[in-house]
Structure 1
Amino acid sequence: MNSPESSTPIRLLLCDDHAVVRAGLRALLSSTQGMEVVGEAASGEEALAMAARVRPDVVLMDLQLGGGMDGVTATRQLSSTGGENSPCPRVLVLTMFDTDADITRAIEAGATGYILKAERPEELFAAIRNAASGRTALSAPVADRVLAQLRSPRPALSERERDILQQLAGGLGNREIARALFISEATVKTHLGRIYGKLGVETRAAAVAVAKERRLLP
């Protein structure tokens, strides 16, 4: 990987489903000393294929990519595809979304950094250099959220609770959820109670609203 002091430009791959955003980033980064845009992708699938061809040092990854593979899944795959002679690229998330769930999912997937699109260009340049060197790069609001999570972590939903929450979001009642998941209504009620407690809500509608806000639903 390149370092900020290296004479070799940092090779960048841009992944965003908006062509105008990619064009703006390319223009901004191509005019910056020590950085070179070597590829663009509009989807997670394109990013994986492009990365295999151009071998970037850093991938700037948006989280929401329209249909197909999302940015978190692409980040996970990019972060685990390297070998001894071909290290995997660093993934720097560049997005508008700063919910706790988005941040957690991206970091767990292997992202080196998480930067908001509202940041100043100088902040983005510094984050790219840090990412290329293997150092963590976080926007200040993101760092604040991460610290808040560490100070008062919320209990994570289990896989079964996520299944029930998804059925709930589809408008199903307890009996219908029980049938869909092959469990008893009593079990559904027990799980719902736990879900409400973990999300800090008291109603079905509030549970769905909070789940959408925190991007807990697929």
Structure 2
Amino acid sequence: MTRDGKIRVMLVDNHQMVLDGLRAVLETYDEIEVVAASSTARAALELAPSVRPDIVLMDINMPHLNGIDCIERMKRQVPSARILMLSMHDSREYISTSIMRGASGYILKDVSTAEIVTAIQTVAQGGTYFSSGVSEALLDGGEKKARNLSARENDVLVMVADGNSNREIAARLNISEATVETHRKNIKRKLGIATTAGLTRYAIENQLHLSDQ
């Protein structure tokens, strides 16, 4: 913090309107000082050592280097900085990976300004903060989301988890590879999981099996 007790905040988001909006709002709070704003994670890494932020409020989806991959690098650059993720995604995979990488909090972009400030204050004092939607995603064991998958999507997910390629899945289910790829995209969208590794982990954790064909 600065000598006058203000929390030094760095903003990282590739949308300029978001950066401008956050800066304008946060600077209305006497206890917060926005010391820098960057539109890329790489630029933020270069800038951080000179501005020494207490809190890095960072988006996930950014070009070249995403926010999650930036967490460990940022903490190496400024070990005292605490990372607070600000994202539109409530994916369990994104949230848990952010935590494992060293983030101290995760809040959704649709929360109120007051909640963002509360999150900044909480994390700056050494605590952790997760907005309500994030907490629900962490507590959700996945069963509710799994029910949203069709029987065919369930089968594709199980086969993906077993290590089958699109070609192998297509042959087994007697569908085209393009259809398999469409199912994979729909599964990722419904479950909020971006990677094949994440899908595999999800299927194992939820003990999914092939449906009766």
Q: Same fold (TM over 0.5)?
A: yes
The superposition leaves residues 79-112 of structure 1 with CA deviations (integer Å, 9 ceiling, x where unpaired) of 3444xxxx33101001111111211221121110
Runs of 4+ in 1 over 3 A off after TM superposition: 149-152
TM-score by length of 1: 0.69
The equivalent residue for 1:79 is 75
1:31 to partner: Cα distance: 1.0
Give distance in 1, aligned partners of 2:120 and 2:194: 26
Q: Which 5+ residue runs of structure 2 have no aligned equivalent? A: 147-159, 173-179, 198-213
TM-aligned CA distance change 1:150 to 1:207, over 3 Å: closer
Where in structure 2 are the equivalents of 1:32-51 lying within 5 Å? Answer: 32-51=29-48
Give distance in 2, aligned partners of 1:120 and 1:139: 10
The equivalent residue for 2:84 is 92
> Is this contact kept in 2: 1:78–1:88, CA < 8 A?
no
> Is this contact kept in 1: 2:49–2:77, CA < 8 A?
no
The equivalent residue for 1:141 is 133
Structure 2 residue 6 is the aligned partner of structure 1 residue 29: no
The superposition leaves residues 60-84 of structure 1 with CA deviations (integer Å, 9 ceiling, x where unpaired) of 000011x2100101112113444xx
Amino acid in structure 1 at the alignment position of 2:16:
A
SS of the residue 1:88 aligns to: coil
> Is this contact kept in 1: 2:48–2:77, CA < 8 A?
no
1:134 to partner: Cα distance: 1.8
SS of the residue 1:114 aligns to: strand
Where in structure 2 are the equivalents of 1:44-193 lying within 5 Å? Answer: 44-65=41-62, 67-82=63-78, 87-149=79-141, 168=166, 173-174=167-168
Give distance in 2, aligned partners of 1:122 and 1:208: 35
The superposition leaves residues 95-149 of structure 1 with CA deviations (integer Å, 9 ceiling, x where unpaired) of 1111112112211211100011111111111100011112110000101111224
The structure 2 residue matched to 1:209, chosen from 154, 162, 186, is 186
Amino acid in structure 1 at the alignment position of 2:187:
V
Give distance in 1, aligned partners of 2:102 and 2:75: 6
Give distance in 2, aligned partners of 1:7 and 1:51: 20
TM-aligned CA distance change 1:88 to 1:209, over 3 Å: farther
State the identity as a percent: 29
Q: Which 5+ residue runs of structure 1 have no aligned equivalent? A: 155-160, 176-188, 190-202
Aligned residue-pair number: 172
SS of the residue 1:59 aligns to: strand
> Is this contact kept in 1: 2:19–2:37, CA < 8 A?
yes
